[in-house]
Homo-oligomer: A and B are copies of this chain.
Amino acid sequence: MRIKIVIAGPRGRMGQEAVKMVLDEPDFQLVGCIDRKDKEVQVPFLAEKGIPVYRDAEECFYAQEVDVLIDLTVAESSYDYVMMALRKQIRCVVGTTGFSNEQLQTMKATAKENSTGCIIAPNFALGAILMMHFSKIAAKFFPDIEIIEKHHDQKIDAPSGTAIKTAEMIKNVRNSKIQGHPDEVETMQGARGASDDGIRIHSLRLPGLVAHQEVIFGGEGQTLTIKHDSMNRKSFMEGIKLSVQQVMNLKEYVYGLENVLDLA
């Protein structure tokens, strides 16, 4: 018995990869897509495969028997789709970011009322999730930490969101600490990178890079390094796949991919 899936947002960059992933996975069946496009144009690769595309979520859930909704749209529409799905006891896997706290709380309550699984994950990159989880553990034993994140030179902001999140998670388990020699001197400003509670963060930007991060832990006579290299959007698909499998056995709302994985 294959898991019957609807994808909302099939034309987006993540959506296109998700469509491919669901079509390729033997245990999954793509029964439809939701695409709120103004004019009723066909999405070519979906039409070819005979996958119906609905402009309206209600209509979709009425026409099809659905096990899981994968929502990869934006917060505005996503909230409506998810609320509608949960009330019909259709499980949700949601990659959308930008929900308000109130929206998150309402979705949580609705999932519970309907005993229906709902996974909301701002980041589906399994490798990045593991990197952050391992870093949190390692920081208990090695409090001297440097983060290097490397991205293509089209990225505007430094440090990256993942680097900031990693430092945030580490700070929860590590006592505040000033690193380096107490008399340390920067003869060129910025050489020692940014400091978040003493943790040093270095952002590299070069053509030819994609999205990379390493977290280096130093102890007497040894270093431990945890590194994630992401080459393309396909890296998110493994996380979505795992979420679909996990949500089938869930009866409630879970926030964050790390909380549905067996990380012991």
Interface residue tally for chain A (C-beta within 8 Å)? 82
Contacts of A181 in B (CB 8 A): 153-156, 205
How often does this chain occur in the complex, in copies? 4
Q: Is the CB of A157 within 8 A of B219?
A: no
Q: Are B184 and A158 in contact (CB under 8 A)?
A: yes
* Cross-chain contact A220 with B194 (CB below 8 angstroms): no
Residue contact A217 to B141, C-beta cutoff 8 Å: no
Within 8 A of B (CB), among A192-209: 192-196, 200-209
A65 within 8 A of partner (CB): no
Q: Mark A216-231, 1 if CB is under 8 A from B, else 0.
A: 1111111111111111
Contact call A232/B223, Cβ cutoff below 8 A = no
Contacting residues, chain B, for A50 (C-beta < 8 A): none
Q: Is the CB of A207 within 8 A of B196?
A: no
- Is A75 part of the binding interface, using a Cβ–Cβ cutoff of 8 Å? no
Residue A237, interface by CB 8 Å: yes
Is A165 an interface residue when CB atoms closer than 8 A count as contact? no
Known: A148-B148, A204-B200. A224 touches B228 (CB 8 A): yes
Residues of B within 8 A of A207 (CB): 144, 218-220
- Chain B residue contacts of A185, Cβ below 8 A: 156-158
Q: How far is the CB of A179 from chain B (nearest CB, A)?
A: 7
- Which residue of chain B has the shortest Cβ distance to A17 in the bound complex? B221
Question: Are B125 and A130 in contact, with the CB atoms below 8 A?
Answer: no
Leading 9 A-B pairs by shortest Cβ distance: A206-B218, A221-B234, A221-B235, A188-B194, A222-B235, A191-B194, A208-B218, A225-B227, A127-B224
New A-B pairs, 12, CB < 8 Å, besides A153-B180, A156-B184: A126-B222, A127-B142, A127-B217, A130-B134, A134-B138, A157-B184, A158-B187, A190-B192, A193-B193, A206-B217, A222-B235, A231-B231
